[in-house]
Amino acid sequence: MKNEKRRYLINFSTQSLASSETDFLIVGSGIAGLRAAIGLSEHGRVKVLTKDKTEECNSYLAQGGIAAAIGENDNIRYHVEDTLKTGVGLCSEAAVSLLVKEGPRQIADFLKFGANFDMTTDNRIALTREGAHTRDRIVHAHGDAIGLELEITLIKKAKSLPNIHFAEGIYLVDILTDDNCACGAIVFDPSIQKCRVIYSKAVILATGGIGYLFQSTTNSHIATGDGVAIARRAGAEITDMEFIQFHPTTLYLDNAPRFLISEAVRGEGAYLLNANGERFMTGVHEMADLAPRDIVSREILKQIDKTSHPCVYLDITHRDADFLKARFPKIYSNCLRYGIDITTTPIPVKPSAHYMIGGIKSGLDGETNVDGLYVCGESACTYVHGANRLASNSLLECVVFGNRAANAAAAYVKGKTAKKISAGCDYKFYKEPKGFSIKIHGERIINEIRRCSWENLGIVRCAEGFSAVERFVEKYDFIKRLELSTLRSFSLANMLDVVEVINRFCLERKESRGTHFRSDYPAVDDADFKFHLVEKNGKLSRLKV
């Protein structure tokens, strides 16, 4: 199968695998997947697959908040303008308008579901500001735990609905298709080390991002880009994969994970200092420390290079200690665990991979070019973020488009029955090379992937780095021709696939725009590159804005 495209990761026959059936199959239990599940619950049986535990997802880790134009001095137009400006010319105005207009209603729905947002003394929703926002419009909970609150609220709601069933620890291997129509999935159950089939009338991918492809990331270990790789094999269009957001401020200590220091800290007055104790953002951007994330991240790297010091510092010691403990309890306790008291000591920070802006190309209702396949949340790309995402628009995107994908999928399946197709494949796989075993060497290769991505596909990129990625992918190309049968081998194959795709997109865009910055092409080039890159079945095309 050296020159044969691998449609499925495994050899199988649907007739020989155990099978079950549902009306709607949702992959992912983050905020987008849960919102979709709740929306679909009145339309049929809903099965939600989770790669790990239900609460193990990037949504759970979100700190800052969810953006919504509900403040007295705010309106839809201001929020739209901030989003478009941050997206550097590549946002879909239709998607942005829809996102922002539906925001207030989604906040109201969460209140109905029982969410506990932080409130003012006069019982109004408390709002704060984050990077590139011109108004206070960030709704938060428990100070700095919005993701936890939204996730728990949605899980509680979903588990109260009899039509929603969760399957924890079940891994999506591939989407079953017939004549460009999604009709279910092949899944792997690690507890019994076997695959089985789930037939469904529609499939909704809410598989999250790709942060774990990078050595330094705010993301959970499950964020390996599976959804992108799986949808790509199924024939779905992939787009804008060169745009990956790096969060400027994550805790930088040798003995600590790259814990996110929310942008809301800067929204409450924190400022960045270099190793010499100098503020450096005031002369860089009109919004200074609250500039868009890509600008702040690149400037931090410049300061690190300038001072030959491994990080910069985020200082909020000028604020009242009791206020900080109440406003940022999670950040305060986590930093204190590693010896940093944020009320008295500036926080050592450095950028980390945070958010996939590109992904599986979808319309405003989550639809893809594969019939019956929908996508929402971080794994989707509706062009709502353009070349750079506005802070706290991500959770809003999850609930707005998760709900819209549910409505569209419900309409699609009316009058349909699940297609129990007879399908399979019988590739002639190669044996593992002498001295190599995925079981033994797989984890090492995953670490190499993460290091290679961080060094060559990170905040600052160039053609030389892209060549290094090409050589790396070629080195491990033989893995695509091996028989895969374990969770680690599936993840490894998907990670290699997604890294190759990201690299190809980066190489094609010979300019710098938003989160995609090339030192060999450092300027925005509207004349030649104001378009979206779209890949389908291995071929790249350009979609003009």
Helix or strand holding residue 30 (H, E): none
Within a domain: residue 422? no
User: Residue 97 above 60 pLDDT?
Assistant: yes
Within a domain: residue 178? yes
Q: Per-residue pLDDT tens for 235-271?
A: 999 999 999 999 999 999 988 888 999 999 999 999 9
pLDDT at 33: 98
Residues 273 and 310 in one domain: yes
The answer to whether residues 130 and 290 touch, using CB atoms and an 8 Å cutoff, is yes
Residues 227 and 332 in one domain: no
Residues 390 and 347 in one domain: no
Which residues form the catalytic set? 293
Number of other CB atoms surrounding residue 528 within 10 Å: 9
Mean pLDDT within 206-211:
97
Q: What does pTM read for this prediction?
A: 0.96
DSSP 445-470: HHHHHHHHHHHHSSSSB-HHHHHHHH
Q: Per-residue pLDDT tens for 439-475?
A: 999 999 999 999 999 999 999 999 999 999 999 999 9
Tell me the CA distances in angstroms from 227 to 164, 394, 490, one per residue in order.
Answer: 21, 17, 12
pLDDT at 470: 98
Within a domain: residue 383? yes
The domain boundary residue, chosen from 413, 430, 459: 413
User: Residue 493 above 60 pLDDT?
Assistant: yes
How many Å apart are CA 41 and CA 35, to the nearest integer? 10
Count of domains in the chain?
Answer: 2
Q: Per-residue pLDDT tens for 261-312?
A: 999 999 999 999 999 999 999 999 999 999 999 999 999 999 999 999 999 9
Residues 328 and 304 in one domain: yes
Residues 234 and 248 in one domain: no
User: Residue 358 above 90 pLDDT?
Assistant: yes
Token pair for 368 = 């893809």
pLDDT at 64: 85
Residues 346 and 409 in one domain: no
The domain boundary residue, chosen from 354, 384, 405: 354
Within a domain: residue 495? no
The answer to whether residues 296 and 131 touch, using CB atoms and an 8 Å cutoff, is yes
Residues 55 and 188 in one domain: yes
pLDDT at 1: 46
Region for residue 240 given its phi and psi (left: phi exceeds 0; alpha: psi -120 to 50; beta: otherwise)? left
User: 3-class SS at 43?
Assistant: helix
- CATH (domain of 350): 3.90.700.10
Residues 188 and 201 in one domain: yes
Residues 220 and 275 in one domain: no
Q: Which residue has the higher pLDDT, 1 or 332?
A: 332
Residues 323 and 392 in one domain: no
pLDDT at 3: 46
The domain boundary residue, chosen from 413, 443, 459: 413
Within a domain: residue 361? yes
How many Å apart are CA 165 and CA 47, to the nearest integer? 5
How many Å apart are CA 459 and CA 285, to the nearest integer? 18
Range of 38's domain? 12-243+357-413
How many Å apart are CA 111 and CA 100, to the nearest integer? 18
Q: Which residue has the higher pLDDT, 422 or 518?
A: 518
Within a domain: residue 423? no
Residues 288 and 400 in one domain: no
Q: Which of 525, 409, 469, 26 is nearest to 241 (CA)?
A: 469
Within a domain: residue 7? no
Within a domain: residue 494? no
Residues 224 and 365 in one domain: yes
Q: What's the chain's average pLDDT?
A: 96
